[in-house]
Structure 1
Amino acid sequence: MSRRSFFAAGGAVMAFALAACTSDDPLAQQANAGDNKNYIAGDGSVTEFGAADRMAPVEFKATLFTGETVDSADFAGQVTVLNFWYAACAPCRLEAPDLQALHMEFAPQGAQFLGVNVRDEKATAEAFERNFGLDYPSIVDKDGGVLLAMTKFVPPSAVPTTLVLDKQGRVSARVLGVAEKGTLKALLTSALAEA
């Protein structure tokens, strides 16, 4: 068998093995579809975690597009919404107006919204924020530091994903895919009502 034939055969076996491993994974199916969406959308599932089932508080340190540093400890005692996004993501554009509206509604009640931009340069992210009138801050996360800290909750390529953190900084809810306004409002209302 020639070297070229050996590698071609090996590649076919590897592709078959990978396909078998991911055949039931909707995110993998979308990635394999090759439809040039440039993102892997979540499945729209909403997961709520009861207080007794929540893991330890999430921890991260990062830099905002404004240049300020932010630490998860800064949000102690507040309900916090973390929204993972980037400008070319069509579902991110779809949910942006609702996120801004909920930010305006819930900020007076003590909820903090924070974007986590996983891909863009500053100019691109700021253009997106201007276009959609977003006035809550976003983290620069091109290096994946915050995303890595959240891997138990955020699949690396499932953008958008939205997390609701309780007042102790623990994940109380997760939305994979577009965060529907009514659903996110209910999750925020529930988290804010907790002691």
Structure 2
Amino acid sequence: MTSLTVNAGSVWQGGLRKRTFMAVVGLLTVALFVSACSSGPTGDTVAGMSSTYTSSDKTVSEYAPADRGEPVEFEGTTDTGIVVSNEDYAGQVLVVNFWYAACGPCRAEAPDLRELHEEYQDKGVKFLGVNVYDEPETALAFARKYGITYPSVIDKDDGDVRLAFAGHAPPSAVPTTLVLDKAGRVAARFVGQIQAPSSLAAIIRKLTEEA
């Protein structure tokens, strides 16, 4: 009986946590449309991680292997209806970009992300978008316009992927780009529009060379 009580409580707490998270996301999404996009530093810290390097404006953080925390587990459905999860990217470097179509900085950085994806897709590096606001049709239209061929998870309704990355990518900071190492741990974070694609490329190369 005690075990059943504990398990039920855990389920209730998990559901409450998700409902609370989605309520916050809803409020922040409204704020995003009022203020367009957040492309500057957020000033927040990464939960459970200490920064090996953080830029002076706090928009770029890079973490040594010992500081990367636990692997991130996630699952979502892409704009083409395919279910993907962290298991699909096991053993590969993964670049995760949080975005939506009406976000100006998201549009500005899209060509750079496309070029980096094309350069590294055959070198053990995968890219995955997480669309936080749009329907699949809008996300696909954006991909066609900018020539993006990697998939995007549609996360507007349940917010499961945002919840999985909540300690690393605040839902109010769009765009945010995370780079996961081969073990699925967050190794770097770019808050706001990526101003120097060469910096992201350097981190990608470094992670592909890690054992």
Q: How does 1:85-164 map to 2 (within 5 A)?
A: 85-142=99-156, 143-164=158-179
Supply the distance in 1 between the matched residues of 2:101 and 2:67 (Cα, whole angstroms): 34
Q: How does 1:1-195 map to 2 (within 5 A)?
A: 36-43=34-41, 45-142=59-156, 143-179=158-194, 180-195=196-211
Q: Please list every run of 5 or more consecutive structure 1 residues that lacks an aligned counterpart in the other structure.
A: 1-27
Quote the offset at 1:36 in angstroms.
Answer: 3.9
TM-score by length of 1: 0.80
* Equivalent position amino acid for 2:204 in 1: L
How many residues align? The count is 164
Supply the distance in 2 between the matched residues of 1:35 and 1:72 (Cα, whole angstroms): 30
Greater radius of gyration (CA): 1
Quote the offset at 1:124 in angstroms.
Answer: 1.1
Supply the distance in 2 between the matched residues of 1:87 and 1:192 (Cα, whole angstroms): 30
* Equivalent position amino acid for 2:66 in 1: A
8 A Cα contact 1:82 1:115, kept in partner? yes
RMSD: 1.8
Q: What SS does structure 2 have at the residue aligned with 1:81? A: strand
Supply the distance in 1 between the matched residues of 2:33 and 2:70 (Cα, whole angstroms): 38
Q: Please list every run of 5 or more consecutive structure 2 residues that lacks an aligned counterpart in the other structure.
A: 1-27, 42-57
Q: In the superposition, relative to structure 1, how do residues 171 and 35 fare at CA in structure 2: closer, same or farther (>3 Å)?
A: closer
Quote the offset at 1:35 in angstroms.
Answer: 9.7
* Equivalent position amino acid for 2:206 in 1: S
Quote the offset at 1:178 in angstroms.
Answer: 1.0
* Equivalent position amino acid for 1:178 in 2: Q
Q: In the superposition, relative to structure 1, how do residues 121 and 55 fare at CA in structure 2: closer, same or farther (>3 Å)?
A: same
Note the alpha carbon deviations across 1:69-107, whole angstroms, 9 max, x for none: 001011110000000000000000000000000000001
* Equivalent position amino acid for 2:101 in 1: A
Supply the distance in 1 between the matched residues of 2:104 and 2:35 (Cα, whole angstroms): 8
% identical equivalent positions: 53
Q: In the superposition, relative to structure 1, how do residues 158 and 35 fare at CA in structure 2: closer, same or farther (>3 Å)?
A: closer
Q: What SS does structure 1 have at the residue aligned with 2:84? A: strand
8 A Cα contact 1:147 1:154, kept in partner? yes
TM-score by length of 2: 0.74
Supply the distance in 2 between the matched residues of 1:140 and 1:122 (Cα, whole angstroms): 7
Q: In the superposition, relative to structure 1, how do residues 35 and 57 fare at CA in structure 2: closer, same or farther (>3 Å)?
A: closer
